[in-house]
Structure 1
Amino acid sequence: MNQRRDFLRKTALITAGVGLGVSNPPLAAGLNKTKNKLPKWRGFNLLDFFNPEADKGRKNKAEYFKWMEDWGFNFARIPISYPSYLDFDRSKPITPDEVLQFDERRLEEIDDLVDKCHTHGLHVSLNLHRAPGFCINAGFQEPYNLWEDQEALDAFCAHWEMWSKRYKNVSSKKLSFDLVNEPYKREDPNNQHSPGGPVPVEEYRKVAEAALKTIKSVNKKRLVVADGNGGGGIAVPELADLDLHQSCRGYFPMHISHHKAPWVYTDPDILPEPTWPGTYNERYYSREDLVKHYEPWVELLHKGVGVHCGELGCYNKTPHPVFLAWFGDILDILHENGIGFGLWEFSGTFGILNSGRTDIEYEDWYGEKLDRKLLQLLMKYA
């Protein structure tokens, strides 16, 4: 198995530059190499429990885990919508009385997913993508507000206490906790397109500190990660004194990563085609802008905070050559600073399999549609 994996990785390194047809510019100047306290995990987000209806999640096939291992990846982030593992009346919005009605059968299904990852050498980052009182993806009714209501915070901590006890004896080398996905505060929490911005730092700190205390009371060695503010992209030095690492994003600028994404743009069909490097809305974007974007995260490394890029990738409407040129720059900068990544996702519109692009020729991979050029690019850093 190891010989096969080494062969695949060496082959990718030889063929990647030719296959991609793009040049690799020098690594970013001026970014000092600082030891990252987090391992440089590289892998994927697995969306089996991303949907609040567990049966509607994007289930990953058993062979997917073997391919991840064979291709040299070692990380899986599992973003979970908390209603997916509850037993409650789904004909109406969830109520405060129902948010702690854990469904053991569903929890065991998550256990099985974690076990599959561990069997294939993948470190698991368990994340509450939708937590009691908050989700970056609005469009449903939460019974309270995580950032403002003590009842919501109590429920949030109760969920993390449950997970902490459930996995108390699993090593942090195999499992970490990612508190809440992409903190953000909207004027109307139930409207996806409502104006919003970063959560006030004092509110975010209160939530993060309470959950961290809960987790550490069960297992003081558990490795815990907090996502960047304002939707994941803003480093939070105000949390640097806590026993927390932080997770950035690889979605800047969003006119590249989320071109024509219907959950981001109200009228996606009128958007101009992006280029990289290139001008968008009268502003020129290039690799230098990416370097500046990640400078606050490099500063966190200097402060002794571990950094990982929990999500990155590109929606399938961005022209493929533009995507690869931009993505190569992001991966280079992360790599130069010892920061690992989790592609959103393995199979799906952002993935290396079955992404639904119309501007590439897929490789038939055991009946799946493989984006070989994207895989080769990722394997350069695996």
Structure 2
Amino acid sequence: MKRRIFIKNTSLLAAAVSLTGTSAFAKAPLKNTLPKWKGFNLLDFFSPRPFEKISTTEDHLKWMQDWGFDFVRLPIAYPGYLKFDRSKNITPEEVYNINEVAVELVDKVIYMAHKYNMHVSVNLHRAPGYCINAGFHEPYNLWKDEEAQKAFYFHWNMWAKRYKNISSKKISFDLVNEPSMREDMNDQHSPSSIVPGDVYRTVAKAAAEAIRKENPNHLVIADGNNVGNSVIPEIIDLNIAQSCRGYFPHAISHYKAPWANKDPEHLPEPKWPGQVGDQYVDRSMLVKYYQPWIDLTKKGVGVHCGECGCWNKTPHDVFIAWFTDVLDILSANHIGFAIWNFIGDFGILNSGRTDVAYEDWHGYKLDRKFLELLQK
């Protein structure tokens, strides 16, 4: 290289360092180690009632694939695949009574989803001793009782063994849905707080070990603490990805939702952006909310938004405006997402919204505007 060119290039490099504070040869920031999966939660196994049939069809999965989606999350309630006397509250002993016929229904959905190139995330929405929702009497507390934790590890080992030969590119194991430390596990509106970090670490570590006992390459995901809202710094070193949520603020996403509000009929009208009750809501609050998750990806921890969307009582234009900002922030940081459901009150089909011009789609009512937003 000629001396004049070398001096010129060196000067330009020095100027770049001066302006940015970093060397041009510095290592580029890490990006999210998880793929930017896009898709939906399938609610075939969400209820603790006995699993007897499935509602997801091959057509549903083919539509997802044709529309560009590649991910489904299966929230599972563990009582649905057990045998016990349902006229009484379940006992700790009965939590181990696996019903093979019910488990085979889960197999069927997973293999059907794989046929259409979906990554499947298996999630215990109701785990022994914990669920974000009431409606089934838990015999103990996952975060406090060793007996509940042993059952939790047993269930995860069962699922991991069942799918031990499936690649982590096709399946993952999402430990427990939206953890919190609720005072009364069987009271929907009982006061709750964040799970102590050391407790969450203990439970997540042992569950991951139970899963990886069957296949050391199994992909494990932990939902954020504080009902999915908060990063879990205590497990960063455990090779466990983390799952955030796309429901913030609840004044928009859960407007009039009876399971999330004690007085759903007396709530301030949602706007985006705008004044809602005693707070002004806009994109800047979303940026602040997601920043810890974005920072987590830069530490080499994979992040995915395992649940997101908006209940059907929020005005459609407000929902679309808000969710456009949510998806823009997630997508810019290579974070994928899964809408809470495909068909139903959060979904793109048969949402039950009264202010949407639906398109007929093989007998379903398609919210084309919502679909096109997700496809961007």
TM-score for both structures, normalised by structure 2: 0.91
Return the alpha-carbon distance in structure 2 between the equivalents of residues 175 and 57 of structure 1.
Answer: 22
Aligned-pair CA distance for 1:139: 3.4
Structure 1 match to 2:25: none
Contact 1:258 1:315 in 2 (8 A): yes
Q: 1:194 aligns with which of 190, 199, 211?
A: 190
**Residue 339 of structure 2 aligns with which residue?**
343
2:206 aligned counterpart, secondary structure: helix
The alignment's TM-score, normalised by the length of structure 1, stands at 0.89
Aligned residues: 349
With over 3 angstroms needed to count, the CA separation of the structure-2 counterparts of 1:280 and 1:265, relative to structure 1, is same
Paired residue for 1:166, among 159, 162, 169? Answer: 162
Map of 1:180 onto structure 2: 176
Report if aligned partners of 2:134, 2:187 keep a CA contact under 8 Å in 1.
Answer: yes
In structure 2, C-alpha distance between the alignment counterparts of 1:131 and 1:212, rounded to whole Å: 15
**Amino acid across the alignment from 2:102:** R
Whether 1:38 aligns to 2:34 is: yes
After TM superposition, the structure 1 stretch with the greater mean CA deviation from structure 2, 193-202 or 224-233, is 193-202
The answer to whether the Cα contact below 8 Å between 1:126 and 1:177 also exists between their aligned partners in 2 is yes
Query: In the alignment, does 2:214 pair up with 1:221?
Result: no
Counterparts of 2:96 and 2:85, CA distance in 1 = 13
Match of 1:355 among 351, 358, 362: 351
Return the alpha-carbon distance in structure 2 between the equivalents of residues 73 and 48 of structure 1: 19
- Tell me how far apart the structure 2 counterparts of residues 78 and 255 of structure 1 sit (CA, whole Å): 26
**Structure-1 residue corresponding to 2:45:** 49
What does residue 130 of structure 2 align with? 134
1:318-363 CA-to-partner distances (Å, cap 9, x unmatched) read 0000000000000000000000000111001000000101111211
Amino acid paired to 1:76: V
SS at 2:239's partner residue? coil
CA distance in 2, matches of 1:56, 1:364: 29
Q: Secondary structure at the match of 1:161?
A: helix
Identify which of 296, 315, 322 aligns with 1:319: 315
RMSD over aligned Cα atoms: 1.3
Residue in 2 that maps onto 1:64: 60
Deviation of 1:278 after TM superposition, in Å, equals 1.1
Residue by residue over 1:53-108, the C-alpha shift from the partner in whole angstroms, topping out at 9 and shown as x without a partner, is 14488722331011001001000000000011111111111111100100110111
Structure 1 segment 212-251 matched on structure 2, within 5 A: 212-251=208-247
Distance in 2 of aligned mates of 1:56 and 1:251:
31
- Could you tell me which amino acid in structure 1 is paired with residue 332 of structure 2? E
Deviation at 1:141, TM superposition (A): 1.3
- In the alignment, the residues of structure 2 paired with residue 57 and residue 284 of structure 1 have an alpha-carbon distance, to the nearest angstrom, of 45
Contact kept? 2:129, 2:185, Cα under 8 Å: no
Partners of 2:336 and 2:137 in 1: CA distance:
34
Q: Percent identity?
A: 60
Give per-residue Cα distances to partners, 1:24-65, cap 9 Å, x unaligned.
xxxxxxxx9641110111000000000111448872233101
In structure 2, the partner of 1:106 is 102
Letter in 1 for 2:255: H
| Aligned residue in 1 for 2:18 | none
How far has the Cα of 1:151 moved from its partner?
A: 0.6
Higher RCO (CA < 8 A, seq sep 6+): 1
The amino acid across from 1:72 in the alignment is G
Q: Distance in 1 between matches of 2:134 and 2:193?
A: 14
Report the residue type matching 2:216 in the other structure. Answer: K
The answer for the alignment partner of 1:379 in structure 2 is: 375
Q: Is the partner of 2:213 in helix, strand or coil?
A: helix
Aligned with residue 329 of structure 1, among 315, 322, 325: 325
Higher gyration radius (CA): 2
- State the distance in 2 between where 1:138 and 1:229 align: 19
Q: Distance in 2 between matches of 1:58 and 1:242?
A: 35
Q: Counterpart of 2:73?
A: 77
- Residue 258 of structure 1 deviates from its aligned partner by 0.3
Structure 2: which 5+ residue stretches go unaligned? Answer: 1-27
